[in-house]
Structure 1
Amino acid sequence: MLTAKQIEQAKPREKGYSMSDMGGLFLFVTPTGAMVWRMRYRFDSKERTLSI
Structure 2
Amino acid sequence: ELNGITLRTIGRERAKVQIGLLNLVYNIKRVVTLIRKGYFSFDRIIAPEMA
Indicate the TM-score class for this superposition, using the shorter chain for normalisation: under 0.3
Q: Which fold has the larger relative contact order, with Cα–Cα distance below 8 Å and residues 6 or more apart in sequence?
A: 1
* Greater helix fraction, Structure 1 or Structure 2: 2
Structure (1 or 2) with the larger CA radius of gyration = 2
* Greater strand fraction, Structure 1 or Structure 2: 1
Q: Scaled by the length of structure 2, what TM-score is found? A: 0.24
